[in-house]
Structure 1
Amino acid sequence: MNKRIQLTPGTPGPYKAMLALSAEVHSYAENAGLGKLTVELVKLRASQMNGCAFCLDMHSHETLKLGEDPRRIFVLDGWRETELFSDEERAALALTEEITRIGETQSVSDAVYAEATSVLTEDQYRAVAWLAVVINSFNRLAVTSHKPLPRKA
């Protein structure tokens, strides 16, 4: 892979602002009662869709540290075909996928919106949407610059 200009080290101000935004969104998600594993699954699923190896590596490790069953990580791309995910997780994953594809679809479908709002509170819905926005932003930074994986996991 060709070496690329890294976007975060040379722009400490915007990167610190992104980190602060991420921390604020995580705090909001926690206060909304969104499960920590749901938060990490949102980040993993968006990162899968965006092909962000750096974020997949990071959030897979974070998810395992939280006690996630590796089997659920292995089948995350096919979550709809399993019974391994809770209603909250399924609603969050569907919403995350729609937000991640918004450039193609131009919308969150009425069906996904209805599903999400039937399972998630308004604050949880907002938290998932913001989590998806933030991880998609981080994915775009890492993929654009071909951010290398850490030497050691």
Structure 2
Amino acid sequence: MQSRMRNPVIILPDVGQSLQALGKALFASAEKNGVPARTLFLAYLRASQINGDSVCVDLHSRNAMAAGESAERILTVSAWRDTTNFTDAERAALSLSESMTRLYDQTYPVSDEVYKEAALHYDEAALATLITGIATANLYNRLNVSTRQIVDVLPRN
């Protein structure tokens, strides 16, 4: 398998720089508003798993580990409902991530129940950070999947 083209954010450096600035602003907002970086990485990882974006699955797994996340929790993100590895706040973020990512298979993808559960754990600014971050992860996923970006992992011995 090979990529169809270079990543669009490389071809369009102004767009790439803008998206990098957005990412930095999101993590600054997360820190300011009490959203752990690890929670953002888990939400991004779940969206990337759903979207089949191997580049972002690899990236967000590595970033989560660098932020102190355990391998066990990273490995169980796709089955978060069936494990006790996540707090109620993290479950709300993962549910929100799934709902925002699966816009295509439900009439009302982000249900009132999902939104209200997230709002129980995150104030308005924190929730805005999560929503914007998840939307951004989905943007990157769509860029990578449509152009068949390939994760570049070194061979393991």
Shared fold (TM-score, shorter chain, > 0.5) = yes
The whole-number CA distance in structure 1 between the counterparts of 2:109 and 2:151 is 33
TM-score (norm 1): 0.92
Aligned to 1:142: 144
Q: Percent identity?
A: 34
- The answer to whether the 8 A contact 2:100-2:110 is kept is yes
Q: 2:9 aligns to what SS in structure 1?
A: coil
Deviation at 1:33, TM superposition (A): 0.5
Deviation at 1:142, TM superposition (A): 1.1
Q: Which segments of 5 or more consecutive residues in structure 2 lack a partner in the other structure? A: none
Q: Which moved more, 1:4-13 or 1:98-107?
A: 98-107
TM-score (norm 2): 0.90
Q: Which moved more, 1:60-69 or 1:50-59?
A: 60-69
One-letter code of the match for 2:4? R
C-alpha distance 47-148 of structure 1, shift in aligned 2 (>3 A): same
In structure 1, which of residues 106, 116, 119 is the aligned counterpart of residue 118 of structure 2? 116
Matched positions, count: 153
Aligned to 1:61: 62
Deviation at 1:47, TM superposition (A): 0.5
1:17-36 aligned within 5 A: 17-36=18-37
Deviations 1:8-51 (A, max 9, x none): 22111112111111211221111111012101101101100110
Q: Which segments of 5 or more consecutive residues in structure 1 lack a partner in the other structure? A: none
How well do the aligned residues superpose, as a CA RMSD in angstroms?
1.6
The whole-number CA distance in structure 2 between the counterparts of 1:39 and 1:152 is 26
